[in-house]
């Protein structure tokens, strides 16, 4: 579902970012067509080579994701359960100020197993809820302000590159930042805690802020030549 939604958003954004230049819009359409063709070929190969495995997974997806399925978990996993877990965070006594940074970290399991540290037994399956447990309600408010500020800054930088060859990369970085700070954290804090994803977040932001200077640099170089 993540991949499908992101593919649709990126396609629409790339077409919008091409502006009024017909040749750039044609390039975006061709890229989308090629990606769709390769994806279709891949599905056909999977259906031909591994028909049983493909059919079983397709059945699981349809049963758990289709809203009209009796076994659908779509509403529960996207609305009911995350909101319940967020509410559960406020049942811990220290929710106003939290238990401290790292209380709900994924690395806590290694401290328990290797060093014999007693488990804290606090934490919820909600990214925003875990922030409340660790940093309190003020920490959650500051997290939302931080994520919103960075997302707006990233969008401004990406929007300024509209009509240039660097807009697709800039928008992809903005979308990555926004999804990590809000939709993914809404469901779980594990994505942000992943050191690979976290390091890529700040690295990509640095690249994005440097990209917005590229058109100026090219204009100066062309003017000097």
When pLDDT is cut at 50, 70 and 90, the band that residue 103 belongs to is confident
Residue 70: predicted pLDDT: 80
Q: Is the confidence at residue 118, as pLDDT, over 80?
A: no
- What string of DSSP letters covers 27-83? HHHHHHHHHHHHHHHHHHHHHHH-HHHHHHHHHHHHHHH-TTSTT--HHIIIIIHHH
DSSP 8-state assignment for residue 92 = S
Residue 109: predicted pLDDT: 75
Average pLDDT of the residues in 168-183: 95
CA 178 to chain centre: 7
Residue 223: predicted pLDDT: 59
Between CA 199 and CA 179 the distance in angstroms is 15
* Six token digits for residue 91: 């049942």
Average pLDDT of the residues in 13-22: 75
pTM as predicted: 0.82
Closest C-alpha to 179, from 197, 167, 164:
197
CA 68 to chain centre: 27
Q: Is the confidence at residue 221, as pLDDT, over 60?
A: no
- Any idea which residue has 């958003």 for tokens? 9
Mean pLDDT estimate for the chain:
86
Per-residue pLDDT tens over the stretch 41-93: 988 998 889 888 888 888 888 888 887 888 888 888 888 899 999 999 999 99
Between CA 119 and CA 179 the distance in angstroms is 30
Per-residue pLDDT tens over the stretch 198-220: 999 999 999 999 988 876 655 55
Residue 22: predicted pLDDT: 65
For the chain, which residues make up each domain, given as ranges?
Answer: 1-72, 79-225
* Six token digits for residue 123: 């934490």
- Any idea which residue has 């259906």 for tokens? 47
For residues 20 and 152, the model is more confident at: 152
């Amino acid at each position: 579902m993540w991949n499908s939604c992101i593919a649709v958003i990126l396609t629409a954004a790339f077409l919008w970012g091409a502006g009024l230049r017909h040749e750039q819009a044609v390039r975006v359409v061709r890229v989308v067509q090629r990606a769709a063709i390769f994806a279709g070929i891949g599905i056909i190969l999977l259906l031909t080579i591994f028909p049983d495995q493909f059919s079983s997974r397709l059945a699981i997806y349809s049963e758990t994701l289709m809203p009209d399925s009796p076994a659908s978990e779509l509403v529960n996993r996207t609305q009911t359960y995350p909101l319940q877990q967020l509410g559960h965070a406020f049942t811990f006594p220290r929710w106003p100020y939290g238990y401290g940074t790292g209380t709900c970290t994924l690395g806590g399991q290694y401290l328990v197993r290797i060093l014999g540290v007693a488990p804290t037994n606090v934490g919820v399956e909600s990214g925003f809820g875990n922030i409340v447990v660790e940093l309190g309600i003020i920490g959650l408010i500051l997290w939302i302000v931080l994520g919103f500020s960075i997302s707006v800054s990233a969008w401004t930088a990406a929007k300024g590159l509209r009509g240039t060859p660097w807009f697709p990369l800039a928008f992809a970085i903005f979308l990555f930042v926004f999804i990590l700070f809000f939709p993914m954290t809404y469901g779980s804090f594990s994505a942000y805690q992943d050191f690979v994803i976290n390091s890529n977040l700040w690295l990509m932001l640095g690249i994005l802020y440097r990209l917005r200077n590229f058109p100026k640099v090219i204009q100066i170089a062309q003017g000097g030549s």
